[in-house]
């Protein structure tokens, strides 16, 4: 039972490069989320999805794009990476939006933009 | 923006002692959740308490909720070195079907 799997686990990008982070869940969850975690700031929501084919902006969406073409996958894209996007990125999923039960998190992607 | 704020930011205790962490929040909630994060790992859901509940237990964990004070506490009894982690509270005050997380309490349990 894999739960939520994030790839890659680590990545170093140069400013201006692009990349895609992949999140895959095998729990048939409707809701999926991308958060970033920075020291002293907790987790901040980037984008989220309430079902296959849907996406919506969270608190800090600028510089990121997402897609949810399949229910089990949620992709986070950085079109032109900036040093301010250096962070740890977490994907989470939930069957009911987290308000009735908790989130299941992936183990994170540590991204450094130089 | 963060909804929950944990206090203290860091806590260091000896194995066997109890650890208490607090969370304050600003707006009305339907539920509050606590998560644990071990170093370099993702967050793990520990317990959920609803706004009409005052106390909840799960093993060595005890969570209380005081909606009049907009605060919650997480008590870990008889702590172990393996409890060393960061603990986050999260509330459902987000407007995006999401949970809002605080910055966490870093707990160190010394053997």
Give residue-wise pLDDT tens across range A65-114: 999 999 999 999 999 999 999 999 999 999 877 667 789 999 999 999 99
Distance CA A52, CA A71 (A): 5
Q: Please state the rounded mean pLDDT for residues B9-20.
A: 96
Q: What is the mean pLDDT of chain B?
A: 91
User: Cβ contact (<8 Å) for A103 and B99?
Assistant: yes
Percent of chain B with pLDDT over 90: 76
Identify the residue among A99, A108, A110 best suited for mutation to test binding to B, counting B beta carbons within 10 A and taking the highest: A99
Q: Please state the rounded mean pLDDT for residues A32-57.
A: 92
> Is pLDDT of B49 > 80?
yes
What token pair was written down for A7?
């790839």
Q: Please state the rounded mean pLDDT for residues B80-96.
A: 87
Identify the residue among A3, A36, A40, A42 best suited for mutation to test binding to B, counting B beta carbons within 10 A and taking the highest: A42
Q: Please state the rounded mean pLDDT for residues B97-102.
A: 83
> Is pLDDT of B96 > 70?
no
Distances, alpha carbon A5 to alpha carbons B8, B68, B97, in Å: 32, 39, 22
| Nearest CA-CA distance, residue A85 and chain B, Å | 17
Q: What is the mean pLDDT of chain A?
A: 93
Specify the DSSP class assigned to residue B81. Answer: G
**Which chain B residues are within 8 Å of A101, Cβ to Cβ?**
45, 48
| Nearest CA-CA distance, residue B48 and chain A, Å | 7
Residue of B nearest to A107 (CA): B42
The confidence band for A12, taking pLDDT boundaries of 50, 70 and 90, is very high
Distance CA A28, CA A30 (A): 7
pLDDT at residue B27, rounded to an integer? 87
pLDDT at residue A100, rounded to an integer? 72
pLDDT at residue B36, rounded to an integer? 97
> Is pLDDT of A1 > 80?
no
Q: Please state the rounded mean pLDDT for residues B74-79.
A: 98
The confidence band for B53, taking pLDDT boundaries of 50, 70 and 90, is very high
Cβ contacts from A onto B, under 8 A: 69
Specify the DSSP class assigned to residue A85. Answer: G
């Amino acid at each position: 039972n894999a739960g939520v799997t994030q790839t890659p686990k680590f990545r170093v990008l140069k400013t201006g490069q692009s990349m895609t982070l992949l999140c895959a869940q095998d729990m048939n969850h409707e809701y999926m989320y991308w958060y970033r975690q920075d020291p002293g700031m907790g987790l901040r929501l980037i984008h989220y999805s309430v079902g296959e084919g849907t996406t919506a902006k969270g608190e800090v969406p600028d510089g990121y794009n997402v897609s949810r073409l399949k229910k089990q996958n949620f992709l986070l894209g950085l079109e032109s990476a900036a040093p301010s996007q250096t962070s740890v990125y977490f994907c989470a999923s939930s069957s009911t939006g987290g308000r009735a039960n908790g989130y299941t998190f992936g183990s994170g992607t540590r991204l450094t933009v130089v | 923006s963060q909804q929950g704020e944990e206090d203290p930011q860091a806590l260091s205790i000896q194995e066997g002692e109890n650890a208490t962490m607090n969370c304050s929040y600003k707006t009305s909630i339907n539920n509050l959740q606590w998560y644990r994060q071990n170093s370099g790992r993702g967050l793990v859901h520990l317990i959920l308490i609803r706004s009409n509940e005052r106390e909840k237990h799960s093993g060595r964990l005890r969570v209380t909720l005081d909606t009049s004070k907009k605060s919650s506490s997480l008590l870990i009894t008889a702590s172990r070195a393996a409890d060393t982690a960061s603990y986050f509270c999260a509330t459902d005050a987000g407007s995006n079907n999401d949970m809002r997380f605080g910055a966490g309490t870093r707990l160190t349990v010394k053997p």
